[in-house]
Structure 1
Amino acid sequence: MYSYEERIKAVKLYIKYDQCISDTIRELGYPSKNALKQWYEEYVQIGEIREKKDSYQKYSKDQIKIAVDYYLEHGRSLSRTIRAVGYPTRETLTKWIDELAPNERKVRIKRSGMLQLSQKQKNEVVLEFCVCEDTAEAVAKKYKVSRGSLYKLKKQLLGDESIITMKKLNQTKTSDDRNELLSEVEALKKELYKKQMEIDILNKAAEIIKKDKGINLQRMTNCEKTELIDALRIKYPLYELLKMTGIPKSSYFYQKKIQEQPEKYSELRKTVKSVFDSNRKCYGYRRVYSAIKNKGQVVSEKVIRRIMKEEQIIVSVKKKRKYNSYKGEITPAVENVIARDFHAESPNKKWLTDLTEFHIPAGKVYLSPIIDCFDGMVVSWTIGTSPNAELVNTMLTDAIAVLSEKERPVVHTDRGCHYRWNGWISAMENAQLIRSMSKKGCSPDNSACEGFFGRLKNEMFYGQSWKGVTIESFMYELDEYLKWYNNSRIKMSLDGMSPILYRRSLGLAV
């Protein structure tokens, strides 16, 4: 069906080219000769070409539905439908069917399709028809030939007929030609079998190593290749799979023997899982290794890492959100005495402090700790629901209480308002402690304390559901974590010991 614009364009070009049909059709690519003549005669008679009305305007929706339903229910024949209901044209009915019942219209395959195939293509068609699992109709549709032509070609190439008619040469094939053709078919079958085996191997390899793209059999371990071969031995012979995967027969049976032996690290796997779970699921493989080593069990760190990878024991990490306590320059700032040197030769030489916020469904909770730069121990802490002066001053008072008479540590803070109020300044001066402050908005100046907050939230706060937890319950959990942090949590920088154990190992009073 051509639009009005296409028809009028063709007629005008036909007139422009002195009514030369071939030149007009060659340039436009349409229509047929008879159609062009018909359009031209209509244009000459009435001076224009009538616009065709939409079929939907000519027929009601009920009439259209009746025609389409009859077509679907009575053999899907256009001719039968038009004879029965008395309308419309084949083109219009085809359009109705495609719009109201997509993919339901029967498409007839041209019988001339087989004539367009070369002899090599015909061989491939017959080979696929013989060895593949698709139906004859599917193969015929793929190559755009009829089912009858497909069976006829198969009979010609592989049947009992001794004489095969060749369209161009019109001569009889000899028995040698027939044997050569059969040999070619057999070679194609073997090639198809080999390709199918390669596809099956790659698909199964993707399942085993959990990788969809970039599968390389040469990079697979012998253990993975053995698992792959075992999965496909039902379908393919062993010697073919060994050849395709590139693993020697001796290596294959060696891996089979190893797999049949009891799991060497079955108990260790349970121990690793237990250590991980009992330490708030925040230990990586290094600290899990140290914890197991401290129990007196000798094992390689690489084994721990492999077990955690195989068991998918992973520490969840999320980005922290920092509480900001800056309220402006309330009192003069002091010098940055620490100067980003967070190393201390002994306890109570350098202290760090800051405030952090925990936001749970029940409300907000604030933590104010003092961290000792010597070993990262939390010297004192206070937990509350308001970031006020009482919270930080109480923490400072508790920390001062653990100092000996001669200890005067440097206390480093940011420029938050809590550390610039008179109460904080007076307490520092009375205890003869040294004040130190970060630059304005410069978190790296107090990065060691920020790092403590990051570890705390990753290990205790993030990745947990606090829905239904009260403020009091959360404050209790936080307090328990800080006790565990000092007494039990392993630090690799302390030779795999907790801060309390490390101090005891040095003979320091705790």
Structure 2
Amino acid sequence: MAKYSFEFKTNVVQAYLNGEGSYGYLAKKYGIPRSEQVHRWVKSYENMGNEGLIRSEKKENYSFDFKLHVVELYLTTEASYQELALSIGMNNPPLITKWVNDFRIAGPDALRSKRKGRKRTMNKPKTTSTDTLDPSNHNEKYIKQLEDELLKLKIENAYLKELRRLRLEGIPQNKKRESSIVSEDPFKLKDILAITGFPKATYMYWQKRFDKENPNQELEEKILEIRKNNKDFGYRRIYGELKKQGLVVNKKRVQRIIQKLGLQVTSFTRKSRKYSSYKGKVGKVAPNRIHRRFETCVLHQKIVTDTSEFKYYEVDKKGKMHIKKLYLDPFMDLCNREIISYSISQRPSAVSIMQALNKAIEITTNCKYRRTFHSDQGWAYQMKAYTHTLKENKIFQSMSRKGNCHDNSVMENFFGIMKQEMYYGEVYYSYEELKLAIENYIKYYNERRIKEKLGWMSPVEYRHTLLAA
């Protein structure tokens, strides 16, 4: 990392305070690699004055109690490293990062100061080993040494038995408040710690923490309740749902709790789309009027559609299983990503698509601007009945470029999300069962599945908000 002089930092900070530009603009102007560096200088100057811009040449030594206090402040508050460093008068946020990482890996003992230089080697004991010790000349020492060896073996044996018991019973070790050594023989704490190599400070630290209540208990219960009603909500949507309920919480905190509770979503896997409705140029191909401009603030102005294939299994009278197919033709409003109409059939047919089209046209008649219906170059969207119906209702027809799925990526994304949340990993044994599952999901998608782009509202909620404005 480049070192900058005090005068250089002062010039950059004064330029920002005088309103000469943003962090990014000043970073480019003065040749600073990252705009975050400018932001850090400004905040340090606002909180500490000129001292915040002076780089200390001498290495400051911080006590163990101070380090532990800073780490506990970071773990118990939602402040960032930068904010915490400024609040306690430090000009070195990366040092706090190192303390927190060391603490998470090795506990409080990692914060203690290490002695400089090479480690002193232990002098070899002048006494002989048990193999060469003469019992007749050193009777008392010999007995004491045997007693120490026996005590060590007893503690190790009891320790291993307790670990095995905990594994078999499935009891988390960090929830046991009593000593982890269960044995008929009483052992002193100093002997146990000496044999296991466990630092006493770490032992006492965690002994005190066992008596503390879980600060996230209420939040964990709310997360479990949300996940129970929405099995495919990841930490982002759970965070959005908590925000809708008026609970202010950090997104990373929600992610840590979900990882702790093992609630990660596992239904999302990569799958390929099998069905293709493209059969060449069988009619008139419309130009691409959308040009990937998928955003609009007007309801029912831009509508996209496509067809997707689903599979289910049927068993005949002879007990043989056959693979059957179901086809879904939805129409989506790009304003709020709501499925305004759809049709389901056992084969790709013009009748099914025209039914969904007529319903979509009827729903979107209240649009005060001329509508645009976008699709790919599938055979159904090139047929005369489809194009003639759009012309009769004064609707622009738009088509993706040949073989380019990105021109209709919003619809493709909907199919991907839908199949990952209700289709992949599930087996359906009848047309009616699969059809009911699709209908229930579309209702759930429209009315209950929240989106960050919609301000953590569902498509229907967002539509009501626009109409009420």
Could you tell me the TM-score, scaled by structure 1's length? 0.54
Aligned residue among 251, 260, 273 for 2:205: 251
What is the aligned partner in structure 2 of residue 336 from structure 1? 288
Residue in 2 aligned with 1:432? 394
Distance 1:329 1:270, change over 3 A: same
Q: 1:458 aligns with which of 420, 424, 429?
A: 420
Q: Does 1:269 align with 2:231?
A: no
The answer to whether 1:231 aligns with 2:184 is no
Distance change in 2, residues 1:195/1:337 (3 Å)? farther
Partners of 1:229 and 1:238 within 8 A in 2: no
Distance 1:479 1:226 in 2: 45
Structure 2 CA distance for partners of 1:439 and 1:245, relative to 1, 3 Å: farther
User: In structure 2, what residue type is equivalent to 1:312?
Assistant: G
Runs of 5+ in structure 2 lacking a partner? Answer: 1-127, 315-323
Give the drift of 1:314: 2.6
State the aligned residue count. Answer: 322
CA distance in 2, matches of 1:490, 1:471: 29
Residue matched to 1:441 = 403
Q: Distance in 2 between matches of 1:333 and 1:232?
A: 78
Name the counterpart of 1:394: 355
Contact 1:348 1:408 in 2 (8 A): no
Letter matched to residue 456 of structure 1: M
- For residue 388 of structure 1, what is the amino acid of its counterpart? S
Structure 1 residues 228-263: Cα deviation after superposition (integer angstroms, max 9, x where no partner): 9943465964335557333615413311211xx4x5
The within-5 A match list for 1:497-508 is: 497-507=457-467
Q: Does 1:478 align with 2:438?
A: yes
Q: CA deviation at 1:464?
A: 2.6
User: Alignment RMSD, CA only?
Assistant: 4.0
Equivalent pairs: percent with the same residue?
28
CA 435–183 in structure 1, closer or farther in 2 if over 3 Å, else same: farther
Q: Distance in 1 between matches of 2:400 and 2:326?
A: 24
Cross-structure match for 2:301: 349
CA 1:200–1:336 in 2, change beyond 3 Å: closer, same or farther?
farther
Note the C-alpha offset of 1:389. Answer: 0.9
Counterpart residue number, 1:374? 335
**Greater relative contact order (Cα < 8 A, sep 6+):** 2
Secondary structure of 2:309 counterpart: strand
Offset of 1:357 from its aligned partner?
A: 1.1
CA distance, structure 2, for counterparts of residue 318 and residue 491 of structure 1? 20
CA distance in structure 2 between the partners assigned to 1:442 and 1:229 by the alignment: 65
Please give the per-residue CA displacement for 1:26-77, whole angstroms capped at 9, x wherever unaligned. Answer: xxxxxxxxxxxxxxxxxxxxxxxxxxxxxxxxxxxxxxxxxxxxxxxxxxxx
Q: Alpha carbons of 1:477 and 1:252: their partners in 2 closer, same or farther (altered >3 Å)?
A: closer
Structure 1 gaps, min length 5? 1-122, 128-156, 163-174, 211-222
Q: Is the 8 A contact 1:410 1:436 kept in 2?
A: yes
Larger radius of gyration: 1
Shift of 1:367: 0.9
Please say if residues 344 and 350 of structure 1, whose CA atoms lie closer than 8 Å, have aligned partners that are also in contact: yes
In the TM superposition, residue 380 of structure 1 has moved relative to its aligned partner by: 1.2
- Residues 368, 381 of structure 1: 8 Å contact kept: yes
Query: Is the 1:366–1:386 Cα contact (8 Å) retained in structure 2?
Result: yes
**CA offsets, 1:165-199, max 9 Å, x none?**
xxxxxxxxxx48x999x5997799599869969x9
Change (3 A) 1:328 1:251: same
Note closer, same or farther for the CA distance 1:272–1:463 as it changes in structure 2 (3 Å cut).
farther
- Alpha-carbon distance, 1:459 to partner: 1.4
Higher helix share: 1
Q: What residue identity is the alignment partner of 2:180?
A: A
**Paired position in structure 1 for 2:454:** 494
Task: Show the counterpart of 2:237.
Answer: 287
State the Cα distance separating 1:392 from its structure 2 match.
1.4
SS in 1 for 2:269: coil
Contact 1:229 1:242 in 2 (8 A): no
Moved more, 423-432 or 291-300: 291-300
- C-alpha distance in structure 1 between counterparts of 2:383 and 2:308, whole Å: 18
TM-score, normalised via structure 2 length: 0.58
Q: Is the 8 A contact 2:301 2:367 kept in 1?
A: no
Report if the CA contact (8 A) 2:177-2:207 is conserved: no
